[in-house]
Structure 1
Amino acid sequence: MDLGFLRPLYESGAPVASVHLDTSRGNRDADKEIELRWRHLREELTTLGTDEATLNVLEEAVGGGDSQAFGTHGQSLFASEGRLLSSHTLTEPPRQDRATWSPVPDVLPVAVDRGRHQPFVLVALDRVNAHVTAYPAYPNRGPASERDVTGDSLHGIDVMSRGGPGNLGGYNGRFPGKSVAQDMWRDNTAKVAQHVRDAVAEVDAAVIFVGGDQEAISYLRDNLCERRVDVPILLVAGGRGGPDAEERLHEAAAEALREFVVQGQEHVAAEYHRKLAHDQAVSGTEPTLPMLSEARVRTLLLGAARDREPQLWGSPTEPILVSSHRGDMDDPESAFRAPASALMLRSAVMSDSGFTELRENGEPSGDSGAILRYASHT
């Protein structure tokens, strides 16, 4: 996963307040519950020394934006010097409400959540009509966009008549008009393919899910390949044909998305373990730190379980430096301590490293490691 979207959080040289809280809305008391959670976090931030202007701008943002949507979700907010730096809606609530006031933002919950939920496009398709829906990577009150595409039909066109001796009548037979029908269906899916391409670009989709008529889906695949849409196209159950088919389509797409995300994480984990045997990866926090400080990490792997997370040393002037020893900093006198994940992710962001959540048997892990840009000789 590309961490570039986090880079603006490191532009401020002042301390940053990071807030992660449950903003789920499933009952009439949701607003009051969110207010109480925030009040507790505000008290923590006040104790840590957060200035009033920063607290006030956070309070204005709590529960706002896409986190107002009904359902289960969370929110991550970052602010500094009375200015809101960033707001992210989390597709899952944080494991626990949390607030920090530190020289570096606490971004692990955002990175983990972004990696677990990829943007996608969902297509319900038959030979004449299609419904194309684009979903972003974060919870929203609705999809990013919806497009209904209506193509040409065979209504009023006599394509089923015999064409002479040797031609079989009927839908599955041979008849002169059958190629006319197939050409029409191909033209219809060519129109759909352009809308799918636009939807993919709109949300930077990682995958396309398609349900419906098999022959139309085959034509759609061909058209998308011609348009060089380099996104996996996966078939799911359901499609057009009424509420039941559409409900099956959305349920199948949700399950397929979970599997797609897990498979992506497993693919990176498998590569990580292969490269460990050839000195092209390192395992554990201590071996990873010098690799980050030397900008040698291609992909940082961190687990989301932080119960026993150590404190590390960071530099206010050299953001890629991170170590368990103060003396490794460029200016030990100005060095500061912060949670390991916060400093390791800052280093990864500022050295253009990627990120993947590290899991153990499908559950959040507390481990860390890195795939290197080139082999380690240490």
Structure 2
Amino acid sequence: MDLHWLKPLLGRPSPFTTVYIDATRTGANADAEAADRWRAVRRSLERDGASAAVLDQIADVVSVPTGVRGPHGRVVVADADGVVVDRVLSEPPAQSHAVLGPAPALLPAVKAADETVTYLLVEVDRNGADLTWAAGGTVRTEGGQETETVDGGHDDVHKTREGGLGRRGQTRAEDSWGRNAEVVAAVLDRRVAERRPDLVLVTGDIRAVGLVRDAVAAPTREILVEVPGGGRGDGVNVSAFEAHVSETLAAYRVRRCEGVLSRFREAQGRGDGSVTALDDVIEVLRRGQVEELVLHVDALTSGLAERTLWVGPEPLQVATSVDDLASIGVTSGVEEMDANVALIRAALGQDAGVTFAEDGTVDLVDGIGAVLRWSDESTPSEAVPSQSADQARLRNVV
């Protein structure tokens, strides 16, 4: 899972204020209820000594609806100067709350973002298409969803069925369909290159969908999924179509997760390309080798949640003790940090992703592992835990 949206937090001045709030707005009293939730969170932050100016900025942010329908949450992170991250969460927190500290409390947001898919919905007909972004957690304010209309420009799109002239009319119509589809495909290819969505969902007129699919370039075709039931015109069963979209996104999330875990298992079987256990993961994080951090799904509540690590000023400066940091030359700007925060910080510092593993899906020691970008002779080597003679290190195998 890509964590680029958290990168702006690196190198920012502390303290950090992290707010997790139920952003759901339904019913006649929706705005008043949202305001009450924020007031309760603000009072707790004021008791902890949060800056009034920063709290005023957060209040301005959370007072604006997200533009998302149904139950959902929101995470807002501010540094000493003001709000840096504002992100929609797929599920509201069980209870709205906030944390003030030397580092942002990010793991709950990362875990929630694991359920998020950034996709471009393309509703096509024989004239063109409407492109709508579902921005994977980005707040959509008063302007609503971001939609772009593509007009193919060739309007002879109706077949006739009478005589020779009719056949020529059919040919002209089919030629117009094809050229309109090419215009839509060209725009899609540009948008995919510019914004790199996880998926492109195409729906609408069956013939137009097929023409667009055949006209797009390979990078777009690789992430294109046809979804039945939608379209540009009237008569769409919105509930049924949204159910098809939800099923498509759920299937993608499973594939995305399984793709990472499959690579982890294969590398573990080879004895090369992955590590597990906290000490070894810290070592490869420090060396910038991690492509994907793999955490047990219960990392928030057990194992790592109870640990602290020592960190230096830079994200990759992480260790289990002050002496360990000193051994790599870090002696100033050292502080103790929750393990969850330090590990996510180090992952961000090398553009690594994070994947959560359910029980029984992979073998993890200490509830943590990593898929590596590269390895050499000095990289820690891990055997599958069931084959390890060091059973004392087995604390949390999933």
Shorter chain as denominator, the TM-score bin is 0.7 to 0.9
**Cα contact 1:299–1:356 (8 A) shared by 2:** yes
Aligned partner of 1:252 in structure 2 is 244
- Alignment partner for residue 317 of structure 2, among 317, 321, 329? 321
Aligned partner of 2:301 in structure 1 is 307
**Gapped runs of 5+ residues in structure 2?**
382-398
Q: 1:63 to 1:324 in 2, by over 3 A?
A: farther
- Map 1:56-71; keep pairs closer than 5 Å: 56-64=56-64, 66-67=65-66, 69-71=68-70
Aligned partner of 2:276 in structure 1 is 283
- Alignment partner for residue 225 of structure 2, among 220, 229, 234? 234
Q: Give secondary structure in 1 for the equivalent of 2:78.
A: strand
Q: Give secondary structure in 1 for the equivalent of 2:122.
A: strand
Please list the CA deviations of residues 312-359 of structure 1 after superposition, one character each: whole Å capped at 9, or x if unmatched.
223242321223333222356753222222110111111222222333
Corresponding position: 1:268 with 2:260? yes
**Cα contact 1:147–1:195 (8 A) shared by 2:** no
Distance in 2 between the 1:95 and 1:340 partners?
23
Distance in 2 between the 1:311 and 1:49 partners?
25
Aligned partner of 2:151 in structure 1 is 149
Aligned partner of 1:193 in structure 2 is 185
- Alignment partner for residue 295 of structure 1, among 281, 288, 310? 288
- Map 1:166-177; keep pairs closer than 5 Å: none
- Alignment partner for residue 174 of structure 2, among 171, 182, 186? 182
Taking only aligned residues, the RMSD between alpha carbons, in angstroms, comes to 3.1
TM-score, structure 1 normalization:
0.83
**Cα contact 2:130–2:147 (8 A) shared by 1:** no
**Cα contact 1:21–1:38 (8 A) shared by 2:** yes
Aligned partner of 2:206 in structure 1 is 214
Q: Which amino acid aligns with 1:109?
A: P
Q: Which amino acid aligns with 1:352?
A: D
**Cα contact 2:13–2:80 (8 A) shared by 1:** no
**Cα contact 2:132–2:147 (8 A) shared by 1:** yes
Q: Which amino acid aligns with 1:235?
A: E
Distance in 2 between the 1:27 and 1:245 partners?
24
- Map 1:74-89; keep pairs closer than 5 Å: 74-89=73-88
Q: Which amino acid aligns with 1:328?
A: D
Q: Which amino acid aligns with 2:301?
A: D
Distance in 1 between the 2:309 and 2:277 partners?
17
Distance in 1 between the 2:101 and 2:280 partners?
25
Q: Which amino acid aligns with 1:153?
A: D
Distance in 1 between the 2:68 and 2:160 partners?
50
Distance in 2 between the 1:130 and 1:374 partners?
43
Distance in 2 between the 1:15 and 1:62 partners?
20
1:235 Cα shift? 1.3
Distance in 1 between the 2:81 and 2:174 partners?
62
Distance in 2 between the 1:158 and 1:17 partners?
65
User: Structure 1 stretch 242-251 or stretch 294-303: which is displaced more?
Assistant: 242-251
Q: 1:318 to 1:131 in 2, by over 3 A?
A: closer
Distance in 2 between the 1:58 and 1:70 partners?
21
**Cα contact 1:127–1:185 (8 A) shared by 2:** yes
Q: Which amino acid aligns with 1:232?
A: I
Distance in 1 between the 2:107 and 2:224 partners?
30
Q: Give secondary structure in 2 for the equivalent of 1:271.
A: helix
User: Structure 1 stretch 244-253 or stretch 305-314: which is displaced more?
Assistant: 244-253
User: Structure 1 stretch 320-329 or stretch 42-51: which is displaced more?
Assistant: 42-51
Aligned partner of 2:117 in structure 1 is 118
Distance in 1 between the 2:54 and 2:125 partners?
53
Distance in 2 between the 1:63 and 1:231 partners?
39
Aligned partner of 2:38 in structure 1 is 38
**Cα contact 1:298–1:372 (8 A) shared by 2:** yes
Q: 1:212 to 1:30 in 2, by over 3 A?
A: closer
Q: Give secondary structure in 1 for the equivalent of 2:133.
A: strand
**Gapped runs of 5+ residues in structure 1?**
164-168, 170-174
Distance in 1 between the 2:234 and 2:67 partners?
30
User: Structure 1 stretch 266-275 or stretch 49-58: which is displaced more?
Assistant: 49-58
User: Structure 1 stretch 15-24 or stretch 69-78: which is displaced more?
Assistant: 69-78
1:186 Cα shift? 0.8
Aligned residues: 363
Q: 1:41 to 1:323 in 2, by over 3 A?
A: farther
Q: 1:205 to 1:68 in 2, by over 3 A?
A: closer
**Cα contact 2:313–2:334 (8 A) shared by 1:** no
